[in-house]
Amino acid sequence: MIRAHQPGSQPFDIPEVIPNPAVVPKQEPAPKEPIKVSEKVSHERQHR
Amino acid sequence: MSASSASPSLRFLANCKVQIQVCSPGRLNARRSALLGIGFYLGSDTLRRYACGDLETTVSYGRRFQRGRRLIIYDGGGEFDRNFEWWERFENGKDRLIRLQLPFKNGRSDLLAGSGSKLDLENVNLLATLLIHAEHQGYWSKLGERFEEDMQSLFDRHLLAGLVTAPWVRADEAETADDKEFLSALQELVAYAFEESVRVKKQSGILIPRLQNKSTSSFQGILHEMQSMLQKYRTEVVRQSRQHDNGGRT
């Protein structure tokens, strides 16, 4: 394993950052939707 | 790679609270360190305007390291593990030899990316691979030398050739000790890139549709040219690597 030296205790404070207009943002795959809990089960629990 | 000021639950890419130091094995010489720094800067998905003190680190000054305020620093401490694969060519360059250790016993070229993106990491990986193989006659040395020539042509076209002679990394030699000379070169690059970004934004609606029909990217400015170059070399590295995967020869 290569261990880097920590640059410093304070993060860089780069005052001005703008998007590079030559870079086309990649389309990342959309995150999977969370598993849905069956509504039927929820209803049953509510009626108990 | 190291990250500071981050809790484990934070995403570390493109997060302004996380600082990324991308470590590549092997010390690049002064000129190749300049190419790594400039390639990273122009290829990034964000353009940064640095202030004078932004690049000061815990290894900038002192008895032990004295790396100065630079975008690239040589190994600032820590351990170095050689047990990574290293590719070489043999039999007139037709065959590939895989060594199980890196050819150098120590030394790193670390790039202070600050808040870095996935693209930043991919670009630094590609650039450092090409350059370190050129430095140590590795498998990608010829491709690395071609990349160096392409970068030189890019600088010549944009009248930026002087940037490469600035000390982008502080080495043992006294002539590399001047932080101001480096910061001056960095600020020239930053100013050029910011002006270019304004020009690209203004003209994107007028020129780009016409330029899409042209095969050359030289009309598009340094930012587009850098993207094209990175894409070209990334494609070539992947193509040659896959030839081996498929049992073919390069």
The predicted-structure confidence for B173-202, as pLDDT tens digits, reads as follows 878 878 899 999 999 999 999 999 999 888
Please write the tens of the pLDDT for every residue from A1-48. Answer: 444 445 444 555 666 889 999 998 776 666 667 666 666 555 555 554
Q: Do A3 and B227 touch (CB under 8 A)?
A: no
Confidence band for B94, pLDDT divided at 50, 70 and 90: confident
| Contact with chain B for residue A41, Cβ under 8 A | no
Query: What are B34's two structure tokens?
Result: 């300049």
Query: What are B68's two structure tokens?
Result: 């100065």
**How high is the pLDDT of residue B250?**
39
Q: What is the residue-averaged pLDDT of chain B?
A: 85
Predicted complex: ipTM over 0.85:
no
Strands (E), chain B: 2-4, 19-25, 46-49, 72-74, 86-90, 95-99, 108-114
Domain boundaries, chain B: 2-245
**How high is the pLDDT of residue B249?**
47
H or E element in which residue A18 lies = strand A16-19
pLDDT at B10 over 80: no
**How high is the pLDDT of residue B247?**
64
Q: Do A12 and B114 touch (CB under 8 A)?
A: yes
List the single residue in A with minimal CA-CA distance to B201.
Answer: A21
Task: Provide, for chain B, the percentages of residues in helix, strand and coil under a 3-state DSSP scheme, each rounded to the nearest 5.
Answer: 45, 15, 40
Query: How many angstroms separate the CA of residue A26 from the nearest CA in chain B?
Result: 10
Residues 6+ apart with CB under 8 A from B58: A5, A6, A7, A8, A9, B76
Instruction: Give SS3 for B110.
Output: strand
pLDDT at B162 over 70: yes
Specify the length of chain B in residues.
250
**How high is the pLDDT of residue B4?**
47
